């Protein structure tokens, strides 16, 4: 049987990311792939709720799944139609339970069932997006928009990190071979090769020059982010000097830092924040992989040194092989920005998309941080069956409302009454969820807030359509 983190399954979290994708970009293509993912999510939830061993089901269906996938692929090849989109849908359909199974198998007690669903959905949907777009870059990069090149860097980086991750695992455990893992890596390599063949020599030379110019044009914002990173490393070094386990309040220092970095990025330069957050996420993933594998280079155990440095910040929810709360913090604040995308500039972003982009900052950077402060100072009365306090919940709600009000009165964001109302509703809902759920809130609350804001926009637009 698969081993989950000591918490409730959290089946309800499985709809958060698919709904967020549909609300942020309701294209026909995305609705088809998200519907495929939701069917798999429902299938796994039904199996687990009936206590069916997923490993046994997968072992019995593996060969049948592969044969059906190959047969349909060949059939469409014979018909002369473009088989690639359908092949990606079929492949991801059959890959979903295997990816989910491997996440739990190789990282026992690191995730609840619901958290593992979100991680699986994120990986497969991002992978699908990358293998769909990376092989066909813009025909002439010199004429491409900044957003197009930023997305190309981010998507190619995802495939590159996936391949490096597999190589690191092989280096540590060369006997560990999985067809599914090799399938993804070969597919990713093929897409990167296809991209290089489509790019001209001039385009290849243009990319590093563009990146250097991109940073130099934003040198003040870049320097500011570097200072924040140095402060983060300094705080880690200071806590390691004391050799004492960090408290919840100490960990909230990183919430303030991410708020300080992301808020200017959202308001001033979303392209920079989009690329920077993706790069930092890739670095975090590779660092955590080195730590969990206890990776060695020339006899030096880099993984153990990393573990010693970050071990003092280990949360009680990090009971498994992976330390996931820092990854969830970064993902929770970044996912709303990645979901909104770069279709418009920061100046032209509509107010609902702007508010949704701040979902992670408001719910985690502000709400969850002040919930911890309020719980520490006024935590005498607690919610039944939890270690969360009424005082913390009140602080969580109040801080988010005050932060939204400050954005409005300072002129930073001119939200309408409906957007403000959606953020207030989100503040009440995510504060109650923060108090009552045993899922890791760094991942859950931003998606919940994001959906509430965009659902409000959908209701408003539908009402206008119905009336008009």
Q: Measured between alpha carbons, how far is 86 from 33 in angstroms, rounded to an integer?
A: 10
Give the pLDDT confidence score for residue 181 in this predicted structure.
66
The tens-digit pLDDT sequence of the chain (468 residues) is 567 777 888 899 999 999 999 998 877 777 778 887 888 888 888 888 888 777 777 666 555 554 455 455 545 544 445 666 666 667 777 788 888 888 888 888 889 999 999 999 999 889 888 888 888 888 888 888 888 899 999 999 999 998 888 888 777 765 555 666 677 787 788 888 888 888 888 888 999 999 999 999 999 999 999 999 999 888 888 887 776 777 777 788 888 899 999 999 998 899 999 999 999 999 999 988 888 888 777 666 777 787 777 777 777 777 778 888 889 999 999 999 999 987 666 566 788 999 999 999 999 999 988 988 888 777 677 787 777 888 889 999 999 999 999 988 887 888 888 898 999 999 999 999 988 888 888 999 999 999 999 999 888 888 888 886
Decide if 114 contacts 18 (C-beta within 8 A). Answer: no
Decide if 11 contacts 45 (C-beta within 8 A). Answer: yes
Report the 3 state secondary structure along 350-371. CHHHHHHHCHHHHHHHHHHHHH
Backbone angles phi, psi at 178, to 5 degrees: -135, 130
Give the pLDDT confidence score for residue 1 in this predicted structure.
53
Give the pLDDT confidence score for residue 278 in this predicted structure.
94
């Amino acid at each position: 049987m698969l081993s989950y983190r000591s918490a409730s399954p959290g089946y309800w979290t499985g709809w958060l990311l698919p709904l967020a994708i549909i609300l942020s970009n309701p294209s026909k293509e995305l609705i088809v792939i998200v519907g495929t993912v939701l069917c798999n999510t429902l299938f796994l939830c039904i199996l687990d709720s009936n206590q069916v061993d997923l490993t046994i089901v997968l072992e019995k269906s593996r060969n049948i799944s592969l044969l059906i996938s190959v047969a349909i692929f060949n059939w469409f090849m014979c018909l002369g139609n473009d088989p690639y989109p359908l092949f990606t849908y079929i492949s991801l359909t059959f890959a979903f339970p295997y990816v989910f199974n491997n996440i739990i198998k190789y990282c026992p007690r690191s995730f609840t069932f619901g958290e593992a669903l979100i991680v699986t959905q994120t990986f497969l949907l991002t992978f699908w997006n990358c293998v769909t777009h990376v092989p066909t870059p813009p025909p002439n990069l010199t004429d491409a928009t900044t957003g197009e090149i930023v997305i190309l860097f981010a998507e190619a980086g995802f495939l590159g990190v996936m391949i490096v991750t597999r190589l690191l695992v092989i280096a540590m455990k060369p006997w560990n071979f999985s067809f599914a893992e090799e399938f993804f890596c070969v597919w990713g390599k093929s897409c990167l090769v296809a991209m290089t063949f489509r790019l001209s020599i001039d385009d290849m030379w243009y990319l590093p020059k563009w990146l250097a110019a991109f940073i130099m044009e934003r040198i003040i914002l870049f320097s500011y982010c570097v200072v924040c990173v140095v402060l983060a490393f300094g705080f880690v070094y200071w806590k390691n000097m004391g050799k004492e386990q960090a408290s919840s309040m100490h960990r909230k220092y990183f919430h303030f830092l991410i708020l300080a970095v992301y808020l200017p990025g959202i308001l001033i330069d979303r392209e920079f924040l989009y690329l920077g957050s993706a790069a930092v996420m890739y670095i975090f993933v590779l660092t955590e992989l080195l730590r969990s594998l206890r990776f060695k280079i020339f006899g030096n155990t880099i993984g153990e040194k990393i573990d010693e440095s970050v071990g003092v910040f280990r949360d009680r929810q990090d009971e498994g092989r992976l330390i996931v709360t820092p990854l969830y913090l970064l993902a929770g604040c970044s996912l709303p920005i990645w979901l909104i995308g770069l279709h418009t500039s920061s100046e032209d972003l509509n107010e609902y998309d702007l508010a949704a982009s701040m979902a992670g900052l408001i719910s985690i950077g502000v709400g969850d941080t002040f919930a911890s402060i309020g719980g520490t100072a006024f935590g005498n009365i607690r919610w039944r069956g939890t270690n969360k306090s009424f005082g913390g919940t009140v602080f969580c709600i109040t801080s988010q409302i005050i932060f939204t009000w400050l954005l409005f009165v300072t002129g930073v964001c001119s939200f309408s009454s409906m957007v403000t109302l959606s953020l207030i509703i989100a503040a009440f809902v995510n504060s109650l969820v923060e108090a009552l759920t045993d899922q890791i809130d760094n991942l859950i609350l931003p998606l919940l807030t994001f959906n509430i804001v965009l659902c409000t926009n959908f209701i408003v637009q539908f009402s206008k359509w119905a009336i008009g």
